[in-house]
Structure 1
Amino acid sequence: MNKTALRALLRERRALIAPESHGFARPTGQGRRAPGLSQHQVDQLLHRTFGTYHRLESGNYPNPPTSLLRDIARLFGLNEQEWVSLCRYALLQDPPGPLHLSSGKEVPGVWQEAVDGIRHMAYVTDASWEMLAYNRRFATMFPHGKVPANTLRWMLLDPHGRETLLDWDTAWAPMVLPQLRAALAARPDDDVLRQIEKEVLAETQTADLYATGNSHPHPDGDERPLLHAQEGRGWVTMCAAQPLTAPGSRLMILVFHPGETRIHARAGILRAT
């Protein structure tokens, strides 16, 4: 627990909430003059026993339950980045999932301009793998430039996807299916992901691969064979990043090289010297 940072974050955000907005009267005579909710009022609003919030803010609550942290974050109106900070300060780890189910479903519009400026194939998907933005170079990967609405469903279930993703059953599906499992662990109530999982389980081949439970958390740096609609057979190396305002979303940059020879299979690691 980082007591100093935790105390500073909680005090700052608690001070911004007017007691009157939650039905509390501000004292007019002798008594508390500090801005915002009192620690006891926070306990009342969260239906916690007296002193619970004080223990947390003072740094005397080791390993607080994430349910308490989530309730406080929502009461204080924290955004997703502040939610991550709260969990890191209180638990020394990232949160188990987003603060709000709607998070990860949108990114600032400037991402389209940013993607357009990338010379390699590039796109941005939301936390459900729904397409948000892509550049023209990426569209050329598909016959007639028809980009799929959901890249996860396309990779796992679309017959055209299996033709494009060469060696689909060994080089692609076993790496992609664990990402579906990981996404659902973080977002168990996501209707889009649940539907994709339902379709995966309804097909014998994908269901068997899904049942193996392999662990492959992200594709960053992976190099896999791919059939480009215009440039033919080749190898694509994937660079993955996440817009910070949208947990679960992804910026994917695909570096494609036509031909039978792998280019980045033994590429070095970049590190500061």
Structure 2
Amino acid sequence: MNKTALRALLKERRELIAPEAHGLSRPTGRGRRARGLSQQQVDELTCRAIDTYNRLETGRYPNPPADYLRQVGRLFGLNEQEWVMLCRYAGIGDPPGPLNPSSGLEVPGVWQEAVDGIGHMAYLTDASWNLLAHNRHFADMHPGRRVPANTLRWMLLDREARGTSLVDWDTVWAPLVLPQLRAALAARPEDATLRRIEREVRADPALGPMWEACGAHIHPDGDERPLHHALHGPGHVSICAAQPLTAPGARLIIMLFRPGPRKSHPRVPMLRAAGPGDTGG
């Protein structure tokens, strides 16, 4: 628990909430000069016993329940990055899921310009794997430049992807993508898009048995996989994956395509910062 950071975050955000917005009166009287909600009003709005919130803000509430932190986070209008910080400062580690069900379904519009500026195939999806942004290099990869509406469904269920684009689909792509669907459902069990894809996967003759036996690989960052490019033919891609900080579950994927067999390109070594004794020579 980081009591100093916890108190600073909660106090700052509490003072931004007008009591009138929740049908409460602004406390008055001698000694009452603080802005925003009072600590007792937070207890009232979260239906908790008096002094519960004071214990949280002052760091006297060890390991508070995640559902209570979620109540406070939503009341204070925290964004997803602040929600992560709240849970860490309160001593429970990373949150069990996003603060709000709608989180991860939108990103700032400037991301389109950022994706356009990437010199490799690049695209951005929301937490349901719906395509939000892509660049021309990603469109060029697809026959007729027809980009998929949902990249997870495309990788698992699209006939053209399974038969042509995703080389060795049944041994390389599908076994590594299915665990990502399972992980996404664990984080967002009520996501209608992901549940629909799951039903299609279970009903698919090839994917159904794989689904029951799928492993624990949950992200593609650093992977290399064979791919047939619509313009450049057979080759392989190196995959880089990242996540916008305010959109949990959303992901930026950058694919570096290299034509020809994999063995013709040596694997790039890991990047590490130089240690104290390294001279760089």
Describe the shift of the 1:28–1:116 C-alpha distance in structure 2 as closer, same or farther (beyond 3 A).
Answer: closer
2:211 aligns with 210
For the aligned residue pairs, the C-alpha RMSD in angstroms reads 1.5
Residue 147 of structure 1 deviates from its aligned partner by: 0.5
Once residues 81 and 265 of structure 2 are traced to their aligned partners in structure 1, the CA distance between those partners, rounded to angstroms, is 33
2:222 aligns with 221
1:25 aligns with 25
Gaps of 5+ in 2: 275-281
Residue 262 of structure 1 deviates from its aligned partner by: 4.0
Describe the shift of the 1:30–1:229 C-alpha distance in structure 2 as closer, same or farther (beyond 3 A).
Answer: same
Residue 265 of structure 1 deviates from its aligned partner by: 6.3
Describe the shift of the 1:155–1:67 C-alpha distance in structure 2 as closer, same or farther (beyond 3 A).
Answer: same
Once residues 211 and 92 of structure 2 are traced to their aligned partners in structure 1, the CA distance between those partners, rounded to angstroms, is 31
Q: Does the 8 Å CA contact 2:111/2:133 hold for their aligned counterparts?
A: yes
Once residues 262 and 188 of structure 1 are traced to their aligned partners in structure 2, the CA distance between those partners, rounded to angstroms, is 40
Q: Does the 8 Å CA contact 2:241/2:251 hold for their aligned counterparts?
A: yes
Q: Amino acid of the residue matched to residue 156 of structure 1?
A: L
Matched residues, percent identical? 67
Q: Does the 8 Å CA contact 1:225/1:235 hold for their aligned counterparts?
A: yes
Once residues 266 and 129 of structure 2 are traced to their aligned partners in structure 1, the CA distance between those partners, rounded to angstroms, is 26
Once residues 223 and 249 of structure 1 are traced to their aligned partners in structure 2, the CA distance between those partners, rounded to angstroms, is 21
Once residues 94 and 9 of structure 2 are traced to their aligned partners in structure 1, the CA distance between those partners, rounded to angstroms, is 16
Q: Amino acid of the residue matched to residue 179 of structure 1?
A: Q
1:190-224 deviations in Å (ceiling 9; x for gaps): 11111111111111321211112411121000001
1:243 aligns with 244
1:144 aligns with 144
Which secondary structure does the structure 2 equivalent of 1:122 belong to? Answer: strand
State how 1:69-84 maps to structure 2 within 5 Å: 69-84=69-84
Q: Amino acid of the residue matched to residue 212 of structure 1?
A: A
Once residues 187 and 266 of structure 2 are traced to their aligned partners in structure 1, the CA distance between those partners, rounded to angstroms, is 31
Q: Does the 8 Å CA contact 1:128/1:193 hold for their aligned counterparts?
A: yes
1:96-143 deviations in Å (ceiling 9; x for gaps): 211112121122222222111111111111111111111111111111
TM-score, scaled relative to structure 1: 0.95
1:155 aligns with 155
Q: Amino acid of the residue matched to residue 16 of structure 1?
A: L
1:56-106 deviations in Å (ceiling 9; x for gaps): 111121211110011100101111111111112113522121111212112
Q: Amino acid of the residue matched to residue 233 of structure 1?
A: P
Q: Amino acid of the residue matched to residue 254 of structure 2?
A: I
Q: Does the 8 Å CA contact 2:175/2:214 hold for their aligned counterparts?
A: no
TM-score, scaled relative to structure 2: 0.92
Which secondary structure does the structure 2 equivalent of 1:115 belong to? Answer: helix
Which secondary structure does the structure 2 equivalent of 1:226 belong to? Answer: strand
Once residues 212 and 264 of structure 2 are traced to their aligned partners in structure 1, the CA distance between those partners, rounded to angstroms, is 32
Once residues 142 and 204 of structure 2 are traced to their aligned partners in structure 1, the CA distance between those partners, rounded to angstroms, is 24
Once residues 122 and 106 of structure 1 are traced to their aligned partners in structure 2, the CA distance between those partners, rounded to angstroms, is 17
Residue 267 of structure 1 deviates from its aligned partner by: 2.2
Q: Amino acid of the residue matched to residue 202 of structure 1?
A: A
Once residues 209 and 264 of structure 2 are traced to their aligned partners in structure 1, the CA distance between those partners, rounded to angstroms, is 32
Gaps of 5+ in 1: none
Q: Amino acid of the residue matched to residue 113 of structure 1?
A: E
Once residues 201 and 107 of structure 2 are traced to their aligned partners in structure 1, the CA distance between those partners, rounded to angstroms, is 28
Once residues 98 and 69 of structure 2 are traced to their aligned partners in structure 1, the CA distance between those partners, rounded to angstroms, is 12
Once residues 83 and 240 of structure 1 are traced to their aligned partners in structure 2, the CA distance between those partners, rounded to angstroms, is 22
Number of aligned pairs? 273
Which secondary structure does the structure 2 equivalent of 1:140 belong to? Answer: helix
Which secondary structure does the structure 1 equivalent of 2:240 belong to? Answer: strand
Describe the shift of the 1:60–1:231 C-alpha distance in structure 2 as closer, same or farther (beyond 3 A).
Answer: same
Q: Does the 8 Å CA contact 2:63/2:92 hold for their aligned counterparts?
A: no
Residue 20 of structure 1 deviates from its aligned partner by: 2.4
